[in-house]
Amino acid sequence: MKYDKWQQKVLDTKGNVLLNKGRQIGGTEIFAHKAGEYLRNNPGHQIICVSDTLDQAENIINMVLRYFNEKCSNSINREKHKPTKTRVWLLNEAHIISRPVGDTGDAIRSFTGNILYVDEAALMPRNFWVAALAVLFSTGGKIWASSTPRSKFEGKANKKTYYYEAYLNLRKRWTVIEQTSEWVANNREICATWTAEQKKEAIEFLEDRKEDLSEAEYKREYLAEFTDENQQWFADSLIRSRMVGQRPTAIEKDWFVGMGNDIARKGLDPGSYEVFRLSGDRLIQIENQISKDQPITTTADQIMGLDDKYYIDHNFIDDEGSLGKGVLDILLKEQKNWARDTKTHGISNSTMVVDEFGKEKGIKKTEMHVKLLSLMEKGKIDLLDDESIFQSLKSVQYVYDTDSKGKRHLKIFGNDTHICEGITRATELLKYKDLNLIIHSIKI
């Protein structure tokens, strides 16, 4: 095998090394060769190789064993410690063990190693690294890591992933090497293991992938770029798990009820009217209605009709834009004539939320979506078993943007979110639950 310059650099690098790479460029193989050379030259040392799956763990051992068979077959211990699918010993007592570790890293807690090689390191969450790095404590050992990149941040949080932190190398503890699949396809030198035909097919393969994949997917998989792609805010399974409600057959006047509304832009998208009652600290949905292409007076009439039916205590209106403000003005004017003393509140998505110390927490829309997600995850909200609700929540996407000052912001958006917007406003009812006083009388 004739090495590319970047591969030779991987082989020659001492200390911690991180290879951030595109797919199928020979990254795992070059670390298998590096492992083979290290074991030959360091008697009694141990390399602990970890990967996400059993198949990949066994594949790495196969690569190491193939390297030994080609370079120094007589150095392999084939008697007392015969090669297995997960371990290879040399006669000099050096050996490599490869383990699948999943998310936790617990599978290697009892090991001590001189080298920790982490394959597809970007897949490993922070709790894996907490457990795994301890294997190097008493040996002064080093880390080898290789991976196609994934997200820069952990889930919906602002905390950088361990792999991305290592890639940034702010503390200069790593030698960071980068290589893309496109570079390899176009620039790898023709040799016995990389023929002209292979080169032609690789270039054609990448052209096909550009057609098949999104731009972000292609950049991540083949150009080794970190792409925090738009992601779904509410998981399908979570939405379904909370769609357990049914419309009530009877309405109780003493229910504490709130309604959230998303006012439609005429002729463009639907309006949403979401009614919930509060039971203890649980929100239970009792109505979901939508409207399309109607004037603000009709929208106001629809809201007042729902108030008459469900005895609304608090009504939360989208008051951004001329349509929302118009509906709000009508409701405030007519409120004195409603069935009960409904309190109407204007809720603007773009309002900046400030905590008790005057610190800006983010915009109202983001706060409400975070709150709704939390309620769903805690099982504190029951949604109607209505497919339109599922489709609306499913359409909500999120991404993290970085502003000109380097500050990271959560951005939530979507193209069918009107029902979700109404639901998020309805959750504001929780702020008034302590004001829902019930008077009991007892005989004296």
SS (H, E, C) the chain: CCCCHHHHHHHHCCCCEEEEECCCCCHHHHHHHHHHHHHHHCCCCEEEEEECCHHHHHHHHHHHHHHHHHHCHHHECCCCCCCCCCEEEECCCCEEEEEECCCCCHHHCCCCCCEEEEECHHHCCHHHHHHHHHHHCCCCCEEEEEECCCCCECCCCCCECHHHHHHHCCCCCCEEEEECHHHHHHHCCCECCECHHHHHHHHHHHHHHHHHCCHHHHHHHHCCCCCCCCEECCCHHHHHHHEEECCCCCCCCCCEEEEEEECCCCCCCCEEEEEEEEECCEEEEEEEEEECCCCHHHHHHHHHHHHHHHCCCEEEEECCHHHHHHHHHHHHHHHHHCCCCCEEEEECCCCEEECCCCCEEEEHHHHHHHHHHHHHHCCCEEEECCHHHHHHHHCCEEEEEECCCCCEEEEEECCCCHHHHHHHHHHHHHHHHHHCCCCCCCCC
Average pLDDT over residues 149-160: 74
| Stretch among 70-84, 284-298, 305-319, 405-419 having the lowest mean pLDDT | 405-419
Which residues 6+ apart lie within 8 Å of 431 measured at CB? none
Check: CB of residue 100 under 8 Å from CB of residue 68: no
Which carries the bigger pLDDT value, residue 361 or residue 27?
A: 27
Structure tokens at 58: 């066994």
Per residue in 286-343, pLDDT tens?
999 988 878 888 888 888 889 889 999 999 988 776 677 778 888 887 776 665 667 8
What average pLDDT score do residues 94-123 get? 85
Q: Report the chain's C-alpha Rg in angstroms.
A: 30
Let me know: does 291 contact 273? Beta carbons within 8 Å: yes
Instruction: Report d(CA 377, CA 379) in Å as an integer.
Output: 6
Please say whether the dihedral angle defined by the alpha carbons of residues 414, 417, 422 and 427, taken in this order, is positive or negative: negative
Ordered structural domains, the chain, with CATH: 5-222 (3.40.50.300), 236-435 (3.30.420.240)
Quickly state the pLDDT bin for 136 (edges 50, 70, 90).
very high
Tell whether the model's pLDDT for residue 407 goes beyond 50.
yes
Cβ contacts of residue 426 below 8 Å, gap of 6+? 258, 259, 260, 274, 275, 276, 283, 285, 316
- b/e map of 135-151 (b: 16 or more CB within 10 Å)? bbeeeebbbbbbbbbbb
CB 349 within 8 A of CB 363: yes
Strand 46-51 and strand 95-100: the pairing is: parallel
pLDDT at 367 over 70: yes
What is the CA 437 to chain-centroid distance, rounded?
41
Give the residue, 32 or 351, on which the prediction is more confident.
Answer: 32
In whole angstroms, give the CA distance from residue 138 to residue 135.
8
Please indicate whether residue 40 or residue 301 has the higher confidence score (pLDDT): 40
The answer, yes or no, to whether residue 143 has pLDDT greater than 90, is: yes
Q: What is the pLDDT of residue 132?
A: 87
Unique residue bearing structure tokens 């004296």:
444
170-179, 202-211, 227-236, 312-321: which range is least confident on average? 227-236
Alpha-carbon distance 146 to 240, whole Å? 37
Please check the confidence at residue 123 and state whether its pLDDT lies above 60. Answer: yes
CB 184 within 8 A of CB 29: no
Instruction: Please count the other Cβ atoms lying within 10 Å of the Cβ belonging to residue 198.
Output: 13
Centre a 10 Å sphere on the Cβ of residue 328 and count the other Cβ atoms it contains. 23
Model pLDDT, residue 440: 43
